[in-house]
Chains A and B, each alone.
Chain A
């Protein structure tokens, strides 16, 4: 797309046509698949059988499918949260740390608060959600009150959470039996989430995630709050004229988003590990992949479900590659980064068209969402509007 012709210009528009978005997204996924195939070749693995193994063990057999869905659960929760945060132009990339904060909150309840059985798990979800929300509210407050760049603070909070968890499991919360690897004591039985059959799919977390998606979809489409978010996302200027308190909305959305990530953390500790474990095993980068989930969904809450399932597949496929094909385990990171890059790169293609200058001078061009000059308030055209 060279811009050399004097009689034509690129005309951005607010809404991208669905068919083009779908085509571009599929193309991005196709390129990523091509790169994975190249990795197979580079590691002397026959691509045909490798892909067949992956598809069988992630989608076609019951156990594999349950693993794909299980990995989609934290992505679903963190992803729907980030969708909200991005809509308010709050660039939260701290979902990873908020997942860890949620896990710590749940672990605190499971290990130390003697909550009677029917209430143990609800209390854990509550504590984890609140812990995640609090962890995310600090950067949001700093942004709202002082204009501190949230990209860097949320990211720093990821590292702080990581080392805090490591400190807990090596220090005050270390299990008596732990030698070598560090972890906390095992949770009591009433603090373990039920799973479907013999799989590791902890369905209560999945149910909460799906319910949250529906609630968010309804709220965004039907409520006054949804309207405020919509206006704020499209134009902070217009929002101010409409009397919308941008700081309050941003803070609320950021806290809810972080709380959702916290719930994801509860699911991981209570559904899978049943103890607080090494942070890089507790969350395998779900918080970062959730950014892609939110961007792939392009502002539509329901679209978070297929996006989370796709990335759940990527993570499950990463496991198959490591275990069955003996390939490096970093492939999910590469695929996530690559698809994110391709989606970002193709975003302008879906949102504009070439027009003749005569025609363009009539129309009022819609400025891209990147029109704010304040570096402390970055925002994504990829997620605004939608």
Chain B
């Protein structure tokens, strides 16, 4: 049936497109749940992408590349953590500078790799058993990269951890009321550090997916705003890991469907669509929830200093 095929193909393509958004947005959800905004996602993804590519290209092993991509994101986020948490500097400026620095640095060090295809890219795989399922199999479990399936697993784990474990409760409490957590004798800043570092790791992996699997190459415009879209996704999904998956799929489906209009629209206007859609999604979120962003961590963007009201 044609309609079935169209739906299956659209969901599958949407999932591939959404994978880097999922990784980066999940990371940002975790960081923001601890109360620390990191606007450096775009930069961390670029650093992850270029480092991953360089290592995979040099070693010939794509998994070393992926590890390096994650490590690069982690290292970049530690800079933000130090500036925003330890020094209590403005998190917005710090994150923004991380994006500018990350984009500049990745372009600088990546010059040698521009235009070279990766000889050993990540191969798509099928999930055993699940890929045999009718409809759902080809939609979600066939011919995707391992990182796509892993993103879904990580989202589910993050949700369970965040809402069903003590550690998750501590994380959310730090983002809501750090003073109360501090009074309970728990280390506020250590939790925030951990959350920001995990966010960086996931953003680095998101970048690695781009340069190792999605388009196995490196170019300056590779991230092209995906990091910012991931930030919007975190807001759109109300900082909920499972909603990130649905929202990411919705985003991906819209872009995929829009690209079917290729014959009608000039290509420049098509490439514009993800950004237009992101704005619309934010407007929709705000309109639905009224002026107060419901679900936002109460202490988001506020540095914690003991003894301060």
Q: Name A's interface SS.
A: helix
Q: Are A365 and B300 in contact (CB under 8 A)?
A: no
Q: Of B87, B272, B285, B292, which is within 8 A of A159 by CB? A: B272
One of A75-83, A227-235, A338-346 at the interface: A338-346
B283 touches A146 (CB 8 A): yes
Q: Are A344 and B107 in contact (CB under 8 A)?
A: no
Contact with B along A329-342 (1 / 0, CB 8 A): 01111111110110
With contact pairs A344-B90, A373-B302 given, residues A163 and B271 touching in the complex (Cβ less than 8 Å): yes
Q: Confirm or deny: A135 has a beta carbon within 8 angstroms of a beta carbon on chain B.
A: no
Instruction: With both chains docked as a complex, state the minimum distance between the C-beta of B223 and any C-beta of chain A, in angstroms.
Output: 12
Enumerate chain B residues within 8 angstroms of A368, measured Cβ to Cβ.
Answer: 88, 303, 305
B96 at the interface (CB under 8 A from A): yes
- Interface segment, one of A59-67, A150-158, A187-195: A150-158
Is the Cβ of B275 less than 8 Å from the Cβ of A156?
yes
Q: Check B293–A374 contact: CB distance below 8 A.
A: yes
- Give min CB distance, B22 to chain A, whole Å: 18
Contact B225 A156 (CB under 8 A): yes
Assess the B90–A381 pair: CB atoms within 8 A: yes
Contact A171 B235 (CB under 8 A): no
Within 8 A of A (CB), among B274-309: 275-276, 278-279, 282-283, 285-287, 290-293, 296-303, 305-309
Query: Which of A149, A372, A373, A381 gathers the greatest number of chain B CB atoms within 10 Å?
Result: A373
Asked whether, in the complex, the Cβ of A344 is within 8 Å of the Cβ of B108, the reply is: no
Chain A residues, Cβ within 8 Å of B100: 288, 333, 336-337, 340
**Chain A residue with the shortest CB-CB distance to B94:** A344
Which of B271, B282, B286 has the most chain A CB atoms closer than 10 A to its own CB?
A: B282
CB–CB A330/B104 < 8 A: yes
* Contact call A148/B97, Cβ cutoff below 8 A: no
**Are A331 and B97 touching (Cβ within 8 A)?**
no
Q: Scoring A residues 8 to 48 as 1 if CB is less than 8 Å from chain B, else 0, what string do you get?
A: 01100000000000000000000000000001000000000
Name 30 A/B residue pairs within 8 A (Cβ), A-sorted: A39-B108, A146-B283, A146-B286, A147-B291, A147-B293, A152-B278, A159-B224, A159-B272, A160-B279, A171-B266, A288-B100, A328-B108, A331-B108, A336-B100, A337-B104, A344-B97, A345-B87, A345-B89, A347-B89, A348-B88, A367-B308, A368-B88, A370-B302, A373-B296, A373-B298, A373-B302, A375-B296, A376-B293, A381-B89, A382-B89
- Name 14 extra pairs, CB < 8 A, besides A149-B282, A337-B105: A148-B282, A149-B235, A152-B232, A155-B225, A159-B275, A160-B272, A160-B275, A330-B104, A331-B104, A337-B99, A345-B89, A347-B90, A349-B87, A373-B300
Nearest first, the 5 A-B pairs at minimum CB distance are A333-B104, A337-B101, A337-B100, A340-B97, A167-B268
Q: Which residues of A does B touch, CB under 8 Å?
A: 1, 3, 9-10, 39, 91, 93, 142, 146-149, 151-153, 155-157, 159-160, 163-164, 166-167, 170-171, 288, 291, 295, 328, 330-338, 340-341, 343-349, 365, 367-368, 370-376, 378-382
